Amino acid sequence: MPQTLTFALAQLNLWVGDIDGNVDKIIQAAVRARDDLSADLVACPELSLIGYPPDDLLLRTALPAAIGAGVERLLREVRGITLIVGLPEYADGLLYNAAFVIRDGAIVARCRKQLLPNYGVFDEKRHFTAGRETPVFELKGYRIGLCVCEDVWGPGPAAQAKAADADVLININASPFEQNKARERLEVLRARTAETGLPILYVNMVGGQDDLVFDGGSIAVNGDGSVGFSAPDFVEDLYPVRFENGLLKGECAPPASDEARVYAALVRATRDYVDRNGFPGALLGLSGGIDSALVAAIAADALGPERVWAVSMPSRYTADMSNDDARIEAEALGIRYSTIAIEAAYEAFEGLLAPSFKGRKPDLTEENLQSRSRGMLLMALSNKFGNVVLTTGNKSEMAVGYATLYGDMCGGFAPIKDVYKTLVYQLAIYRNSLAPPDRPVIPHRVITREPSAELRYEQKDSDSLPPYEVLDPILQAYVEDSRSIPEIVAMGFNEAAVRKVAGLVRRSEYKRRQAPPGPKVTHRAFGRERRYPLTAQYGDL
């Protein structure tokens, strides 16, 4: 038996539905692993042939033939190295989330995912049938176990590999990013190694896919729980890992801060959404506030400054400092910047509505007219030039409905939709830390001034909402942890504030249902992961 095996982990950015393109990328990875890394095996992510999550694309009648053609290409063109590839397997009238082991024109092993997640963002039982066993195959005298993603989150599949005398277990993944997910994965892998003594190779994909973003973070954990290798987050590449004397060894990427990981996730998600949907660039309203400032920075980093267009749309209520700060940031980022005042549009709408509004005092309606005037202008520019509009609302605002439907919610992608306001500030400070101290991309005044929608004179967010340092923990308990109102009050929060926040969350459900997609970064995001009825009455639940 040889003393050393070389594995190559293909941390790939795959495009859902692009079978031909994904096969090209897999073949390129296999050739490079063989020729440049002298690898014995290359492992690709879960469902790498079709991308993840394919959702109801799996129901297309032409898909089985397309998947079959992709497998045939791999059988023909990948030689001199063992390849693990994830794919939907159609067999005997059933569909499996599978992995094939391909070597020199033959399928030498097949793995069918046993533990099908059906929680959070996952809905795999809608399409897939569960497998029953963990295959173990031979590679140069070693026995290699293989399982798919969720299979490593339970003890059974790893125990099966151990019982079959595996020397190492490979786990292929499509595991979306969220805060603290890397730490949680490591704990799970260490639990499996503690139970079995098996070293585990974990390979994950990277890239944005609608409201999910995948961080990679591929890792090798040895039988004693030590980390033998770790890949950098959000970097598409091929990573060699040696298996020698029962240990997995490779380079370990330096750890990143939570802010760095989240910011990288938002950049990657924005880049892939804009590029893969064929938009020439992005367009956003730049108000001089913290949210649009952060989105502008994300867009510039994701697409390059030349593909970002920021538009200032001041009204009679916009402070001079807001106009100044918007211009300063656009110049610091090097993005295109325009000013279109909304006063004429706002007055025109007021005039059109005056007969209908006769006898009624100005209220929130007039505030929302300003926001909707801005939304109309941005969408007109989008229609004319093709750039996608990026909305700039954060999770705190989306949760309580502090946003205008068809106004500032208007757009095609929402980069900070799942970012609480308190984290928005942390990310802005982080982004400035990447710039020279004397040249921040987000003006310090934007970070330190009290937030305001500037839709009426001297308006402050705190006029309508609890302070964000109070609001965000309440939202985390109510939205992410599904705690009841009495439970949250028992945590030490003011009952009136909790009831107000919970009521706002419930009343805003219909708004969020119409919001554009944005990348998940928290434990529970609005949209795919949190599906509540629009019409319901559920009291203190």
Helix (H) or strand (E) holding 243: strand 237-244
Does 138 qualify as catalytic in the annotation? Answer: no
- How far is the C-alpha of 316 from the C-alpha of 499, rounded, in Å? 34
- Residue matched to tokens 């994701």: 302
Helix (H) or strand (E) holding 265: helix 258-276
Strand partners, 325: none
Q: Which two tokens stand for residue 409?
A: 């919610």
Does 410 qualify as catalytic in the annotation? Answer: no
Q: Which of 149, 329, 417, 520 is catalytic?
A: 149
Closest by CA to 342, choosing from 291, 380, 300, is 380
Q: Are 504 and 528 in contact (CB under 8 A)?
A: no
Q: Which of 46, 89, 150, 178 is catalytic?
A: 46
Amino acid at 130: A
How many CB atoms lie under 10 A from the CB of residue 439?
8
170: left (phi over 0), alpha (psi -120 to 50) or beta: beta
Strand order, beta sheet including 219-221: 136-139, 142-148, 168-173, 200-204, 219-221, 227-230
Q: Are 84 and 172 in contact (CB under 8 A)?
A: yes
DSSP state of 150: G
Handedness of CA 115, 118, 123, 127 (dihedral sign): positive
Would you give the end-to-end CA distance of the chain in angstroms? 61
Helix and strand numbers (H, E) in the chain are 16, 19
Closest by CA to 420, choosing from 400, 394, 401, is 394
Does 511 qualify as catalytic in the annotation? Answer: no
- How far is the C-alpha of 429 from the C-alpha of 384, rounded, in Å? 35
485: left (phi over 0), alpha (psi -120 to 50) or beta: alpha
- Residue matched to tokens 């970012």: 419
Amino acid at 230: S
- How far is the C-alpha of 156 from the C-alpha of 133, rounded, in Å? 9
Complete DSSP assignment for 215-226: EB--EEE-TTS-
How many CB atoms lie under 10 A from the CB of residue 437?
7
- What per-residue string of b and e applies to 53-83 under the rule 16 or more CB within 10 Å gives b? bbeeebeeeebeeebeebbebbbeebeebbb
DSSP state of 536: -
Helical residues (DSSP H) of 165-206, grouped into ranges: 181-196
Closest by CA to 147, choosing from 123, 169, 127, is 169
Q: Which of 25, 44, 89, 113 is catalytic?
A: 113
**Active-site annotation, residues:** 46, 113, 149
